[in-house]
Amino acid sequence: MEPFVTLESVAAPLPEAGIDTDVIFPARFLLLLDRAGLGRHLFHERRHARPPGSPPFVLDRPPHDRARILVTGPDFGIGSSREQAVWALADFGIRCIIAPSFGEIFHANCFRNGLLPVTLPPADHARILAEAEAARPLVVDLPAQTIRLAGGERIGFAIEPHRRQALLEGLDEIALLLREDADAIGAFEARQRAQRPWLFLTREQLSHFDDLTETPANG
Amino acid sequence: MQTELAMGQGAGTLYDKIWDSHVVRSYADGTDLLYIDRHLVQEVSSPQAFAGLQARGLPLRRPDAHLAVADHAVPTLHRDRPLREGLAARQVARLQQNARHFGIPYIPMHDRRHGIVHVIGPELGFTLPGATLVCGDSHTCTHGAFGALAFGIGASECESVFATQTLRQRRQKRMRIRLTGSLPRGVTVKDVVLALIARIGIAGGAGHTIEYAGPAVEALSMEGRMTLCNMAIEAGSRVALIAPDERTLDWLRGRPLAPQGDRWAAAVADWRRLRSDPDAAFDREVDMDISDLAPQVSWGTTPEDCAPVTGHVPDPAAVSDPVRRRRMEQSLAYMGLVPGTPLRDIRIDRVFIGSCTNARLEDLRRAAQVVRGRRAAPHVRAIVVPGSAAVRLAAEAEGIDHVFREAGFEWRDSGCSMCVAMNDDRLAEGERCASTSNRNFEGRQGKGGRTHLMSPEMAAAAALAGRLTDVRDWA
Ligand code: SF4
């Protein structure tokens, strides 16, 4: 995973409330099997199905078309757990999203992909949104946990220590678990198997599936 | 031995009890490594997770803890034929290949055990009280109806479960929602949950795990409890829980993957501790009396945009918060609705009775009761998509398919279908649908499609009327 340390960019303002992952990445594109290139379908309807006469979507308009930061309204990324929403944002070039609140699964998915979701209280969020609208660049400084405005003002933000660490070092959480916690997992499993054996399916139970047949290969 | 286990847990909520019994280790920052007992695998969130595992050259740690089924992309017609060449066929085939490669059971669409993950998990007894269960799907909270700690995860987290059987998580706050009173005539648990979300909002449960409790919850069937838990995510909560009781045990006993014999007895003894202690502390409590509820319908593009069917399309001008007002204006523009319009005057084109929220036998029975002996309005195209093959077969054995067919509804095979519009079942641009699913987001049922959420009875009545209508007028 690409480390996240500091990021300097203009921020694209998208102050709508409750943008769900169906809007970020419409379901019909979930049929694609690869993670690469999903940025093409980011906010697909918002970008490509504009009412006649309306200006292009904010991410298609200079200078915000080069934005690596997105400033949204509350409850960004609610709804479906599709990680494609995060992959599409990342593929488009977005590395940081600033909002008053996030959908929880989306929020967790961000960290797995080197994206920094920043939650800010309303007053700070309004300041940042104004900067975004004026297209003044921001500097997101993860080690310092601040966002620096063009005028020099700094706005602090909170982040879980282990997630901060993972972003800073570009850590792969799965590799880390396998390296550091494999013994603990094995020990827990053995203990649970003795104490709550019904949580582990027996061969006999699994034989319920012995008669499963595959569908003929196609596709 | 079991009583010792039970006594070792101390005071706490149902959530904390299940959590505590799954902590592999705790980290200094207050997060825990949580052991995951069960993983339901579907075609949309798994290909990248399997690919990641393969790229690492890792095996799947515990193949017996996973169960795979393709539900989102499968067609609901012509299931005896191979899938038509294309993206959906490739996605379904990929799941089958991955399941074979990694040695986990895969239930194909022609099988009698097929269905939506959240319908077949409980049906098979794969879902158990006190277990941790995940799926790369946000409606995994459905399984909380059985007292399972179940939550939706992303694809990277699926990969973590494949590789390590664990997830690093922070314990959430606890919220208890107590339901009292009894359901009035024509009102269902779907109306309760829609009214609840309208009240607490789409972020009302964010950061919290919801425990549903109270006499009105205890009185619910398991199907009703699943509907209630299913929509917790629409209130922002990843986890919903209901303490298991006799009804839970009766429902699970004898299911193919449920424990048998001595193991069942030991499990039941352990499950007795799965209730919040009388002195357990909750961070938030909500009480709701359901006795005066009316049937609900949604008018906007988030599930909190709901109102009693006797009401009107709301007026954004009456909303003071500018962000909310703007949001409402946008919703109404998308929905093609004018403020002040009586909800019962809204004409519909399509009806969808299906999804992991409302496509179980009880749902279909109740919808069938409304349509029995009547006809859908000529301009309405209505489809019924059972949540699983088992539901379909049971319904057919009762003649429910006939009732629907006679009334002009189409009777389909199991799957997610028009809840998510990833197969051929979708709305055309501008079409308006009365739907029993859980999300009315823009484009959810097809690009430009307009969704009104409601109960199966209300959707059935809407098909007859050709517009939104109060099911109580059709009894
Ligand atoms: S029925 Fe709808 S909500 Fe349920 S799992 Fe399928 S797509 Fe998701």
B3: in domain: no
CB contact under 8 A, B302 and A26: no
CATH number of the domain where residue B379 is located: 3.30.499.10
Q: Is B86 helix (H, G, I), strand (E, B) or coil?
A: coil
Instruction: Dig out the tokens for B369 from the structure.
Output: 């009761």
Residue where one domain finishes, among candidates B220, B237, B272: B272
C-alpha B15/C-alpha B243 separation (Å) is: 9
Residue where one domain finishes, among candidates B238, B272, B306: B272
Instruction: Dig out the tokens for A128 from the structure.
Output: 């940042």
B280: in domain: no
Same domain for B411 and B325: yes
B281: in domain: no
Atom of ligand 1 nearest to the CA of B387: 1
How many angstroms away from the CA of A166 is the closest CA of chain B? Answer: 13
Tell me the DSSP string of B355-399: TTTS-SHHHHHHHHHHHTT----TT-EEEE--SBHHHHHHHHHTT
Q: Is A90 helix (H, G, I), strand (E, B) or coil?
A: helix
Pair type for strands A146-148 and A138-141: antiparallel
User: How many domains is chain B partitioned into structurally?
Assistant: 2
Q: Which of residues 85-104 of A touch B (CB under 8 A)?
A: 86, 101, 103-104
B48 closest CA partner among A176, A112, A45: A112
The predicted complex's ipTM stands at 0.95
Strand arrangement, sheet containing A138-141: A6-9, A138-141, A146-148, A154-156
C-alpha B221/C-alpha B363 separation (Å) is: 11
Domains of chain A: 6-174 (3.20.19.10)
Neighbours of B148 (CB within 10 A): 30
Sequence-distant (≥ 6) Cβ neighbours of residue B333 within 8 angstroms: none
B52: in domain: yes
Query: Which residues form the domain of B198?
Result: 14-272
C-alpha B453/C-alpha B293 separation (Å) is: 16
**How many Cβ contacts (< 8 angstroms) between chains A and B?**
231
Instruction: Dig out the tokens for B83 from the structure.
Output: 């899938």
Same domain for B108 and B233: yes
Bond preceding residue B215 cis, omega within 30 of 0: no
B444 CB under 6 A from ligand 1? no
Residue B186 DSSP class: T
B440 CB under 6 A from ligand 1? no
B2: in domain: no
Helices (H) and strands (E) in chain A, counts: 9, 8
Residue nearest to atom 4 of ligand 1 (CA): B356
C-alpha B273/C-alpha B5 separation (Å) is: 9
Decide if A108 touches B, using CB distance below 8 A: yes
Same domain for B39 and B173: yes
Residue B201 burial (C-beta neighbours within 10 Å; 0-12, 13-18, 19+) = middle
Instruction: Kindly give the confidence (pLDDT) of every residue in chain B, 475 residues in length, as a single tens digit, with 9 standing for 90 and above.
Output: 333 333 333 469 999 999 999 999 999 999 999 999 999 999 999 999 999 999 999 999 999 999 999 999 999 999 988 898 999 999 999 999 999 999 999 999 999 999 999 999 999 999 999 999 999 999 999 999 999 999 999 999 999 999 999 999 999 999 999 999 999 999 999 999 999 999 999 999 999 999 999 999 999 999 999 999 999 999 999 999 999 999 999 999 999 999 999 999 999 999 999 999 999 999 999 999 999 999 999 999 999 999 999 999 999 999 999 989 999 999 999 999 999 999 999 999 999 999 999 999 999 999 999 999 999 999 999 999 999 999 999 999 999 999 999 999 999 999 999 999 999 999 999 999 999 999 999 999 999 999 999 999 999 999 999 999 999 999 7
B470 CB under 6 A from ligand 1? no
What angle do helix axes A104-111 and A161-169 make, rounded to 10 degrees? 40
B226 CB under 6 A from ligand 1? no
Nearest chain B residue to A100 by CA distance is B203
Provide the annotated binding site of B for [4Fe-4S] cluster: 356, 416, 419
C-alpha B90/C-alpha B106 separation (Å) is: 15
Same domain for B301 and B262: no
B289: in domain: no
Same domain for B356 and B213: no
Residue nearest to atom 6 of ligand 1 (CA): B416
Decide if A17 touches B, using CB distance below 8 A: yes
Contacts of B266 in chain A (CB under 8 A): 197-198
Same domain for B154 and B85: yes
B288: in domain: no
C-alpha B128/C-alpha B263 separation (Å) is: 13
Q: Which amino acid is at B432?
A: R
Same domain for B268 and B343: no
